[in-house]
Chains A and B, each alone.
Chain A
Amino acid sequence: MSCCAPGAELDFQEAGPSAEEIGLASRPAGDGLRRTDLSVPDMHCGACLQKVEAALGRLEGVAEARANLSTRRVSILWRGDAPPPMLPALNTIGYSAHLYDTSGNHEDLALSKLLRALAVAGFAASNIMLLSVSVWSGAEAATRDLFHWISAAIALPALAYSGQVFFRSAWRALRHGQTNMDVPISIGVLLAFGMSLYETIGHGPHAYFDAAVSLLFFLLIGRTLDHFMRERARQAVSGLARLSARGAMAIRPDGAQIYLPVDEIEPGMTILLATGERAPVDGHVIKGRSELDRSLVSGESAPQQAAEGTELQAGILNLTGPLTMVATAAAKNSFLAEMIGMMEAAEAGRARYRRVADRASRLYAPVVHATAFLTFVGWMIASGDAHRAITIAIAVLIVTCPCALGLAVPMVHVVAVRRLFELGIMARDGGALERLANIDTVIFDKTGTLTAGNPRLSTGGGASSEALALASAIARHSRHPYSLALAALGDGRPPMALDEVSEHPGAGLEARKGSAIYRLGRPDWAATGGGAPPDAAVVLSKDRQCIAAFHLADRLRSGAREAITELRASRLRLEILSGDNRTRGGDVASELGLPFSAGARPSDKVTHIKALQQAGHRVLMVGDGLNDAPALGAADVSMAPGSAADIGRNAADLVFLRDSLLAVPQAAAIAREAASLVRQNFGLAIVYNLVAIAVAVFGLVTPLVAAAAMSLSSIIVVANALRLGSRGPAGAPEPFPAGFIHPSPAGAAE
């Protein structure tokens, strides 16, 4: 199922979106032009960029093609009645491309907002720091007051602009009766500014404008980096090909064909489903014979026959022949919508996870604020000087300001998300990493997750090499997935001459060689003379007598074995939860030595996960199909391969784009390392704060001390975060006894 793996499905899907679909996805760009965005994942270098732009620019009707190398996308402006043949043009120069959905690009705005806030804070911090250094180095009286006033004039607009990021979030939390890290940050910054302004008015010697603004600057750096890394991961995921249909070719009662978007398809409409297309809504077949790939919908890996009357669920892929279907449900009532509904229900039911930083701030804020208050009371009793007591109390707040705490978590997550990105694993947010570090159970879907999407035929060792060569020669004449798999068997052998080959749709291939009639296909059609084993998927027969039988075998995804071994080594409970039938699920399970449950419906998967969670387990769900989406939503944390169904990909916390299943243990290892670094960072921040509070409580803090202490603590925390991944490659296989990986008896789940 992966777009990188060579396989049967790739050939079928290469037909790509129709002109109507491209038209539907395009947007007007003014001046009679329309704009289409394509994702071109293979565009790697400047030469690629030039080739892509040139190839598209040559097409008639294209006004401009502009490629973006960072996001691997091309924007094409075109005019005319029909979209230019953009995808074929790219395919001929060797680039695969697909439509990019531009609907979800509000995030770019958030990033540029953060960058603007960062720039303002940086400007203000550097200028105020220049003035403050002059004050620290001995500016007196009128000069000092002037510098303080100028600092205040710079700090006020900077806080009003850049501080909004924190103030808004703090206010949102407070309004809901909660607290987060932004609450103490906002209080600290505002108090520091207020007190400094008061000092400035009263010609006081100490103003903390620099502390207030540089705190914002440091925290904004962390925030922006965090956002940038997540945005990059999100874009990489949204650049993947969409697997659900955008629309379908409907036949009107008068016989005219029109292309309708999915939302406008109503029950009762007749729809043409070409080979390589996915059913847009639920329905049933009224004409045509074909085979269906249900792997994304139900987890069944073997293609299934379709004829008149076969029920189709939205998302099923039509493999071999054109079908005419009648819609029985609108898109909002179809299988896909049902899955989305179940997924949302499952997500709502999952206990809201409190992020580590928020939990820390719940402890931090009361402690620091109580300390500041006690300091004030203490100095009031000791000296009776209200001004002095307030000044020292606020100094306590400023010096303990959660700079280190505010950076402790995001910096680790930025580094971890970046490491994951390099491994082809896209993490949606830092919270997912924290949850991933805590898991004790991993549940795998089978089809498309543990196994590569396309099934493989195996002979079971019973066929002669002559028969294999013959089967492969016959199979070359068909595009059926089984045929493609069989044809690959004969690679490297001399081709065998056949006299005549004909294809019987839904049954198989018939070939004549001399006087012998060979048939390759379904057992009940090819081997009517008997001799076919009962569980064979395809047989080769000579004059109706079976001479070779082929079984369907799932092929394990690359790295599956190693991944399972590594996950076991880190003492995680593993199991398989598959929608496929018992035999094939059992084969894979015994091969990997995992317990499994077969025939699980989407709701069964959710129930199973809920039961595990009630028993106190924290579950990672790895799955790819539509039928896994509710389970992905229900699990504590979820991963999906890049080849997963759209909603699965969007529901998953992490998406791995490379083929290998090793991504799962790698992600888990990085998450665990990140969690331990976060704990260390908190430890460092606490030690720093203890020292700082002690100094501040005794009234020894000056703005210079505050600035130095704050910078030092931030640098230590950031440097510690950068250690992530420096202890060698994460998730490298560790040696352990071979006996450990021997399969245990399978089929004992539930």
Chain B
Amino acid sequence: MIDFFFLIPIAIGLGLVGLASFMWTLKNGQYDDLQGAAERILFEGEAGPLPEKRYPGSARPPNDTPWTRTGQPEGRSNTLN
């Protein structure tokens, strides 16, 4: 009986680790472009298979400021910060 106290938590724990890592890859956008990722692995250079951090895959920007009528982005002065 005592074996169960080790073996069952280990078995379920391993399953949970698998589940958690799947959730993480899903959230991380690793399934967004399976075809592209398969090709990128063959590229030379620095670029990794995933976009860089500052460019979130499908996340929406916090506020949708419209393109201004004069054809220039709003807050032009702080674009240069």
Contacts and interface: CB of A to CB of B under 8 A. Distances in A.
B67 interface: yes
B22 A49 contact: no
B4 interface: yes
Contact of A123 (B8, B16, B31, B34): B16
Interface string A65-102: 01111110001010111100000000000000000000
Interface residues of A, number: 52
Contacts of B31: 115
Interface in B1-42: 1, 4, 8, 11-12, 15-16, 18-19, 22-23, 26, 31-36, 39-40, 42
A28 B65 contact: yes
Contact of A28 (B22, B36, B64, B81): B64
A23 interface: yes
A79 B79 contact: yes
A69 B36 contact: yes
Interface stretch (A142-150, A567-575, A590-598, A704-712): A142-150
Nearest to A112: B26
Interface string B50-81: 01101100100111111101111101101111
Contacts of A741: none
Interface residues on B, range: 35 or more
Contact of B19 (A23, A46, A64, A123): A123
B22 A119 contact: yes
A343 B54 CA distance: 43
Nearest to A20: B71
A541 B38 CA distance: 61
A32 B81 contact: yes
Which of A20, A105, A112, A130 has the largest number of chain B CB atoms within 10 A?
A112
Contact of A70 (B33, B43, B55, B72): B33
A155 to B, nearest CB: 13
A119 B71 contact: no
Contacts of B76: 81
Nearest to B56: A29
B34 to A, nearest CB: 6
Contacts of B65: 28
A260 B69 contact: yes
B67 A23 contact: yes
Contacts of A732: none
Contacts of A348: none
B26 A68 contact: no
Interface in A1-28: 19-20, 23-28
Contacts of B12: 127, 150, 154
A735 interface: no
Contact of A69 (B39, B63, B81): B39
Contact of A64 (B16, B52, B66, B80): B52
A649 interface: no
A67 B36 contact: yes
A492 interface: no
Given A28-B63, A130-B11, A46 B34 contact: no
B43 A50 contact: yes
A46 B52 contact: no
Contacts of A310: none
Given A69-B39, A81-B76, A130-B11, A23 B71 contact: yes
Contact of B73 (A34, A116, A261): A34
Given A116-B23, A126-B15, A27 B36 contact: no
Given A70-B33, A123-B16, A49 B39 contact: yes
A699 B26 CA distance: 44
A259 interface: yes
Given A69-B39, A258-B69, 6 more contacts: A29-B55, A81-B73, A123-B15, A127-B15, A146-B4, A258-B71
Interface of A: 19-20, 23-32, 34-35, 45-46, 49-50, 64, 66-71, 75, 77, 79-82, 105, 108, 112, 115-116, 119-120, 123, 126-127, 130, 142-143, 146, 150, 154, 258-261, 264
Interface of B: 1, 4, 8, 11-12, 15-16, 18-19, 22-23, 26, 31-36, 39-40, 42-43, 51-52, 54-55, 58, 61-67, 69-73, 75-76, 78-81
**Across the A-B interface, the 4 shortest Cβ-Cβ residue pairs:** A46-B39, A69-B36, A32-B79, A68-B33
30 contacts: A19-B71, A23-B73, A24-B66, A28-B64, A29-B55, A30-B62, A32-B80, A32-B81, A35-B61, A46-B42, A49-B39, A68-B32, A70-B33, A70-B34, A79-B79, A81-B73, A82-B71, A108-B58, A116-B23, A119-B22, A119-B23, A120-B19, A123-B15, A123-B19, A130-B11, A142-B1, A146-B4, A258-B69, A259-B69, A260-B69
